[in-house]
Amino acid sequence: MHVALFDYGAGNLHSLGKALEGAGAEVTVTADWDESLSMDALVLPGVGAFGAAARALPNDRTRLRQTLADGLPCLGICLGMQLFFDASEESEGDGIGLVPGTVQLLDAPIVPQMGWNDVDTGADPIFDGISELVGYYANSYVCVPTDAGDEIAWSEYDGRRFAASVRRANTWGMQFHPEKSSTKGRRIVSNWVQLAREVIG
């Protein structure tokens, strides 16, 4: 399976690429949207600012949004997950708009959230074989979907419960970094690769 790992100039590409290759995917790092959407699956990495990453999206998000809505397997991590949404309080710029909602600043005395946090997982196959998940976070903002049905996992930080993971069609988002979350985090990456394989047949 050939996966496009999109490079918008700020993502954590190396460790994520290694995790995907370890799960059996062939990875191409690219900043070209035509190339990205022609592959079997797409990964949007984490790390960076929403505004800068939004500027790396196509000027017209329609094709990208529709391709994901039509079922192209996609995994968004941290900032990559936030790009699925309409907009962010962090900076100007439109997201992809696949998942209705906004990205909001964490309401906590200490921001960013850095380090390990428990993740309560819902019944989604991307979490198959995983129990008592603890994810590695590095975030100042959290995603707030308009429809809570898009949420498939949750964490709590300083008393605020927030979406740790979302799903719409064959697009999954993780606010934490599975590639940095030990064996169980890498299992999430492996599960996603397997799910993507099933989608493409």
- Residues 95-131 have pLDDT tens digits of 999 999 999 999 999 999 999 999 999 999 999 999 9
Active-site residue identified among 78, 89, 143, 156: 78
132 assigned to active site:
no
Query: What are the strands, taking DSSP E only, across the chain?
Result: 2-6, 26-30, 41-44, 74-77, 87-88, 101-105, 113-121, 133-139, 141-145, 151-157, 160-168, 171-174
Residue 48: band (very low, low, confident or very high) from pLDDT cuts 50, 70, 90: confident
Residue 4 has pLDDT above 70, yes or no: yes
User: Which DSSP symbol is given to 96?
Assistant: -
For position 10, what pLDDT does the model report? 67
Q: Which domain holds residue 23?
A: 2-200
- Residue 52: which CATH number? 3.40.50.880
Q: Peptide bond before 178: cis, by omega within 30 degrees of 0?
A: no
**How many structural domains compose the chain?**
1
14 assigned to active site:
no
90 assigned to active site:
no
Q: How far apart are the C-alpha atoms of 174 and 135, rounded to whole Å?
A: 10
Active-site residue identified among 14, 132, 179, 198: 179
Active-site residue identified among 21, 151, 177, 198: 177
